Amino acid sequence: MNIVVCVKHVPDAQGDRHFESDYTTDRSGDGLLSELDEYAVEEALKLSESAGGEVTVVTIGPDAAADAIKKALQMGADKGVHVCDDAIAGSDSLGTSLILAEAIKKIGTPDLVMTGMASTDGTMGVLPAMLAERLGLPQVTMSAAITVADGSVSARRDGDAASETIVAALPALVSVTDQINEPRYPSFKGIMAAKKKPVETWSLADLGVDPAAVGLAGAYTQVTSVTKRPPRAQGEIVTDEGDGGTKLAAFLAARKFI
C-alpha cells in the first residue's frame, strides 16, 4: 500500500510569533512538524507496516520546512518531497491545495492520501476537503479510527452525541484526529536511517503551477492590518481580612459571572 502524507512545518507555539511587512506569518524562526500531522504520519506508518508498501511525506514551504520532512522520516516514513519556491509565500488554503494536488499527481497514484485534521498554526481544517476535490477522491475526514481492507477504507467519526462509520473505495483521502493513535518518538536507529532516505525538492515550474495562481497575489483573502496583543495586566490581589468572600462575590458580580 502506497500512502502520501501531507505535513506542514509550523512556527513553534512556545516562541514569539511575528508578521512580515505584508502581514504574512514570519516563518524564519524556530518551527516544527505540526503536532496534528504527526497522527497522520503515525497512522500511515502503521498501515504500511501491516500491509506493506511505502510512505511518502510531502510539504510546502521555505527551506526550514524540510525539518518537517526530516521528523517524519525519522519516525519511519520512506521518502519525502519538499515543494519550495519563493512565489508560494502568502498562499491561502486554495493555493496550498492546488500545489499539494499537483505534487501528489507528480508522485504517482497513491492508495491513500492522509492529512491531519488541521494545522496548528492556521487551524482552518478545510484543506483535506479542498485537496480531495482537486484530486477527484472520496474524502473520509475527521477519522478517529480507520481500517483498510478489500479495496476500501472504513473510518469511525466521533460526534458529540454519536459515532458514525464512513466507507469509501480506494484510492481515497483520509484526515485523522488526535484520538486515533499515539505518535511514536524517533528512535536513534530511525534518526540515523533518515539521513539516507531520499528527499526531492520541486519548484512550481516542476509541477506546472502558474505562480500567479498561488502566493499572496493569488490569495482570495487579504490581511490589511495587524495589532499586537497588549501585555497581560497584573491581576488584583485581595487581602482577606474577614471580608474576602464578599469582595470575591462583588468582583464576580461586576463582571456578570454571577
Q: Say if CB 136 and CB 198 are below 8 A apart.
A: no
Distance CA 187, CA 57 (A): 18
Domain membership flag for residue 140: yes
Domain membership flag for residue 138: yes
Domain membership flag for residue 239: no
CATH number of the domain to which 16 belongs:
3.40.50.620
Domain membership flag for residue 193: yes
Q: How far is CA 192 from CA 73, 74, 102, 178, 188, in A?
A: 10, 8, 31, 27, 6
User: Is the model's pTM score more than 0.95?
Assistant: no
Domain membership flag for residue 108: yes
Contacts of 29 (CB under 8 A, 6+ apart): 11, 12, 15, 16, 18
User: In this predicted structure, what is the pLDDT of residue 121?
Assistant: 87
pLDDT (tens place) for every residue of the chain, 258 residues total: 999 999 999 988 777 777 888 888 877 767 999 999 999 999 999 999 999 999 999 999 999 999 999 999 999 999 999 999 999 999 999 999 999 999 999 999 999 999 999 998 888 899 999 999 999 999 999 999 999 999 999 999 999 999 999 999 999 999 999 999 999 999 999 999 999 999 999 999 999 999 999 999 899 988 888 888 888 888 878 888 888 889 889 989 998 999
Lookup: cell for 161: 452525541
Backbone φ and ψ of 42, nearest 5°: -60, -45
User: In this predicted structure, what is the pLDDT of residue 179?
Assistant: 95
Q: Say if CB 200 and CB 181 are below 8 A apart.
A: no
Domain membership flag for residue 135: yes
Q: 54-60 and 2-6: which strand pairing?
A: parallel
Count of domains observed in the chain: 1
DSSP single-letter state for residue 198? -
Lookup: cell for 148: 483498510
161 lies in which domain range?
2-213
DSSP single-letter state for residue 161? S
Domain membership flag for residue 151: yes
User: In this predicted structure, what is the pLDDT of residue 20?
Assistant: 83
User: In this predicted structure, what is the pLDDT of residue 34?
Assistant: 94
Please, what is the angle between helix 93-107 and helix 127-135, to 10°?
Answer: 50
Domain membership flag for residue 73: yes
